Amino acid sequence: MQKEPPPENDIAVAAKSVVRTFQIGENRIEVLRGVSLEVRRGETLFLVGPSGAGKTSLLYTLAGLERPNEGEVLLDGRSLYRLGRREQARVRNASLGYVFQSFFLLPELTALENVLVPALIRRREARGRAMELLERVGLGDRAAHLPNELSGGEQQRVAIARALMNDPAIIFADEPTGNLDTATGASVMALLMDLVNERKRTLLIVTHDRSIAREGDRTVTLVDGRIVD
């Protein structure tokens, strides 16, 4: 059952005429070609499209990870890339959560310690919350295990718990089921969406799987660096 959409004027994050280019030798590659997009607070939005369409670049730009060449990104009405570097880092840590296809867990840390990383960056003790999140993702009994002792699905569940550690307003997920088999991927996606919906948070997901995308509030398709629907 899908959520009721938030009010139209309640915008969590927006792209305004965003352009992203890369220089490869003498060739200038246009990845995003003046993309404008508004994502409402509490909305679950899927970015879909063919490989190379610019989905990940748009997600990373909205998430404060890749500065646009032109245009701007507004987070709660503030221009994200006009903030100083330190303030950008503070916003990313406090307000944004990230789930990636390749998990990016620190191999020398246990599951519990990986979940704690965002809180340690903010210099606050939160072992109780980290343990609670591991319980919520079904890994309370795996807290002391290292990433190489966990399956791919378990590692992604740890990554989801880590993304939620600071209770961010917006979660960005880049192909979070891309390295998982179909059944595990469906389970992980359902868990992610349930946890986000429970907290009424905003969720942006890049996926190549349109069957998964149908579970969101809205789907946006990119082709050749432009939104086509």
Q: What angle (nearest 5°) sits at the alpha carbon of residue 43, between those of residues 188 and 48?
A: 65
Residue 16 β-bridge partners: 72
Taking domain 11-227, whether its CATH number is 3.40.50.970 is answered by no
The torsion angle over the Cα atoms of residues 163, 167, 171 and 176, rounded to 10 degrees, is 30
Contact 103, 174 (CB under 8 A): no
Rounded Cα distance between 203 and 56, Å, is 14
The tens-digit pLDDT sequence of the chain (229 residues) is 445 544 546 999 999 999 999 888 888 889 999 999 999 999 999 999 999 899 999 999 999 999 999 999 999 899 999 999 999 999 999 999 999 999 999 999 999 999 999 988 766 678 999 999 999 999 999 999 999 999 999 999 999 999 999 999 999 999 998 888 888 988 998 999 999 989 899 999 999 888 888 889 999 999 999 999 7
Secondary structure letter of residue 141 according to DSSP: G
pTM attached to this predicted model: 0.91
* Selection from 77, 46, 76, 74 nearest residue 62 by Cα: 74
Nearest-angstrom CA–CA distance, 106 and 91: 22
Helix (H) or strand (E) holding 50, with range, is none
